[in-house]
Structure 1
Amino acid sequence: MATPAQWIEGARPRTLPAAVAPVLVGTGAAAYLDGFVWWKALLALGVALALQIGVNYANDYSDGIRGTDENRVGPLRLVGSKVASPGAVKAAAFSCFGVGAVLGIVLCATSNWWLLVAGAASLVGAWFYTGGKKPYGYRALGEVSVFVFFGLVAVLGTTYVQAETLHWTAVAGAVGIGAIACALLVANNLRDIPTDSVTGKRTLAVVLGAKRSRQLYAALVGLAFVLAAVSAIATPWALLGLIAVPLGVRSIRVVLSDAVGPALIPVLKGTGLTELVYAIGLAIGLALGG
């Protein structure tokens, strides 16, 4: 039976910046439009965190029952390491999805009900990433999903429920956050190429190969910083997003150095920190610019 500490580790806390960052940027964009609403921002954060933890448990369950985590290099997987039963992990995933759904419904009730469509799509996408008979995460589409849901949907949705309108700075921020979130997944899958290739998990990294995956990682992180600079057209304060450049460069150097296996684990933490610092800087910059 898993201990509380193991459940926390199984929730993969290092991935949580991918949930916090888009809400920060979306809220900063709302403030730029003079539409900041603190309690709606908190509700959006609750939805994002619940979905992120839920998808982490769902991936743990789905990969675990398929046997793709038996020789995994990286953080603890509850099912793969047999410290928790598949049923318990599946229940934890759906409990998180339930919390996210309830918070999302409350948020939609204060804005536009058509946002429920985006919320429902997010829940379906979270489960079928590695769940179901034909998971799209095994078909090199994981990065597309992350970009859409943890970039575009999360940032623009957060902005819209507060300001009830959008601006191109929100779109730029959404693409930037989505790019770094994709880079995080690329780094994770780059580390797992050897085991994923053997178990038949066809991630984008497996399809592209190690060399091109490393180049893709660097391009995605670089794109985010380019978009922060572009956002300075609207307000010079957006350049605060560039405070994350040293962190991003450090992770890029490790990835491009041909590091493999355990040597790539610090990159996950570094990329998550890059995304969070980038989001804080950009959010503050947009808010000050407004």
Structure 2
Amino acid sequence: MSEAPSPFRTWFAATRPRTLPVSFAPVVAGAALARRDGALRPLPLALCLGFAVLAQIAANFANDYYDFVKGADTAARVGPRRAVAAGLVSPAAMLRATWLTCAAAFVVGLGLLPYGGIPLLVVGVAALLSAVLYTGGPYPLGYYGLGDVFVFIFFGPVAVCATVYVQNAHVGADSILVSTAVGLLAANILVANNYRDADTDRAAGKRTTVVRFGRGFAKAQFAAAHILALAVPFLLVADGYALQPLLLAPFVLLAAWAWSLCRRLVPTAAPRQLIGVLAQSGLYVATYAVMLAAYLVIR
């Protein structure tokens, strides 16, 4: 019998560290946009990052709890172990951790009030509510195929544009372009996860986009997101950014990486073979954000 992991390792794993790049990427991209305008300020930047990471962890804790309660996490599921389903954390403790993490995110978000005012507070509360309602509440977004929309909006346009706004009180067309790219790639993490779990999700009545429209549609969505995101650096050139081949060349390597990920999404692949696609999709969006940030700053 294997030894039970320590409480620290159990809770660390429950944060789902492989998914956390989705909270890192939009803040990095937003910081680069602000830096380009000479308005980068460390304190609001740190607060944005803290809020984004805590909101993501709260969403992961809520998902762990509600998927267990609703019967989506069963022994048939393949992938990283879920703390509640594995009996490592009680449902009550996980629910308590969800609300405590939401509270911590809210407190961090209050620090942004001097920079963004009440409108930003409303956006922050909406983000935290959506993090819980993704799998909780009477109409869980993730169970009705709306999870992709939630991730795109809150980890794309909302996170990037909020990071820019609290530093220079302005959001331009380039912010919209960049935030769209980051949001699409963030949603791809969810697509990879739901592609792997499609069979068990269907059995549990969890009607994700993959379950509703099929794996063929999901692969097309995954590929289209990569294509659109890779087009953004070149669209920025059309928006007035200088054409610098040395800065744009690395995106060709990203295109090759994206192609390899798309090729692994095949209907005949065993769920266990798709675990790596999820981890790499998280790493991909972080790498993309860093490379795009470098292009924005060095241009």
* TM-score (ref. length: structure 2): 0.92
Of 139, 142, 148, 2:144 maps to 139
Give the structure 1 partner of residue 191 of structure 2. 186
Deviates more, 1:55-64 or 1:131-140: 131-140
2:103 equivalent to 1:98: yes
Q: Give the deviation of 1:241 after TM superposition.
A: 6.9
Where do 1:25-40 residues align within 5 Å? 25-40=29-44
Give the structure 1 partner of residue 11 of structure 2. 7
Does the aligned pair in 2 maintain the 1:254–1:267 contact within 8 Å? yes
Distance 1:74 1:36, change over 3 A: same
2:284 equivalent to 1:280: no
One-letter amino acid matched to 1:110: Y
Q: Give the deviation of 1:124 after TM superposition.
A: 1.0
| Whole-angstrom CA distance in 2 between matches of 1:25 and 1:201 | 33
| Whole-angstrom CA distance in 2 between matches of 1:17 and 1:239 | 22
One-letter amino acid matched to 1:57: F
Could you give the per-residue CA deviations for residues 168-211 of structure 1, whole angstroms, max 9, x where no partner exists?
11111100000001111111101111001111001011001111
Q: Give the deviation of 1:246 after TM superposition.
A: 3.2
Give the structure 2 partner of residue 166 of structure 1. 171
| Whole-angstrom CA distance in 2 between matches of 1:287 and 1:39 | 19
Does the aligned pair in 2 maintain the 1:65–1:79 contact within 8 Å? no
Structure 1: gaps of 5 or more residues = none
Distance 1:201 1:130, change over 3 A: same
2:239 equivalent to 1:230: no
Q: Give the deviation of 1:13 after TM superposition.
A: 0.2
| Whole-angstrom CA distance in 1 between matches of 2:25 and 2:274 | 22
2:27 equivalent to 1:18: no
Distance 1:274 1:167, change over 3 A: same
Q: Share of identical aligned residues, percent?
A: 36
| Whole-angstrom CA distance in 2 between matches of 1:108 and 1:247 | 40
Does the aligned pair in 1 maintain the 2:115–2:167 contact within 8 Å? no
Partner SS, residue 114 of structure 1: helix
Give the structure 2 partner of residue 197 of structure 1. 202
One-letter amino acid matched to 1:113: I
Does the aligned pair in 2 maintain the 1:148–1:178 contact within 8 Å? yes
Q: Give the deviation of 1:260 after TM superposition.
A: 3.4
* TM-score (ref. length: structure 1): 0.95
2:263 equivalent to 1:259: no
Does the aligned pair in 1 maintain the 2:29–2:178 contact within 8 Å? yes
Of 34, 41, 45, 1:41 maps to 45
Distance 1:208 1:98, change over 3 A: same
Give the total of aligned pairs. 289
| Whole-angstrom CA distance in 2 between matches of 1:65 and 1:252 | 32
Give the structure 1 partner of residue 225 of structure 2. 220
Of 153, 156, 175, 2:158 maps to 153
Does the aligned pair in 2 maintain the 1:240–1:282 contact within 8 Å? no
| Whole-angstrom CA distance in 2 between matches of 1:174 and 1:258 | 33
| Whole-angstrom CA distance in 1 between matches of 2:132 and 2:222 | 25
Give the structure 2 partner of residue 64 of structure 1. 68
Distance 1:241 1:223, change over 3 A: farther
Q: Give the deviation of 1:258 after TM superposition.
A: 4.5
Q: Give the deviation of 1:250 after TM superposition.
A: 2.0
| Whole-angstrom CA distance in 2 between matches of 1:94 and 1:239 | 43
One-letter amino acid matched to 1:250: S
Q: Give the deviation of 1:112 after TM superposition.
A: 2.3
Distance 1:88 1:4, change over 3 A: same
Q: Give the deviation of 1:109 after TM superposition.
A: 2.3
Q: Give the deviation of 1:19 after TM superposition.
A: 0.2
Does the aligned pair in 2 maintain the 1:63–1:130 contact within 8 Å? yes
Q: Give the deviation of 1:157 after TM superposition.
A: 0.4
Partner SS, residue 110 of structure 1: helix
RMSD: 1.6
Q: Give the deviation of 1:111 after TM superposition.
A: 3.0
Q: Give the deviation of 1:256 after TM superposition.
A: 4.6
Q: Once superposed, which parts of structure 1, at least 4 consecutive aligned residues long, lie more than 6 Å away? A: none
Q: Give the deviation of 1:167 after TM superposition.
A: 1.4
One-letter amino acid matched to 1:285: Y
Q: Give the deviation of 1:65 after TM superposition.
A: 1.2
Does the aligned pair in 2 maintain the 1:179–1:220 contact within 8 Å? yes
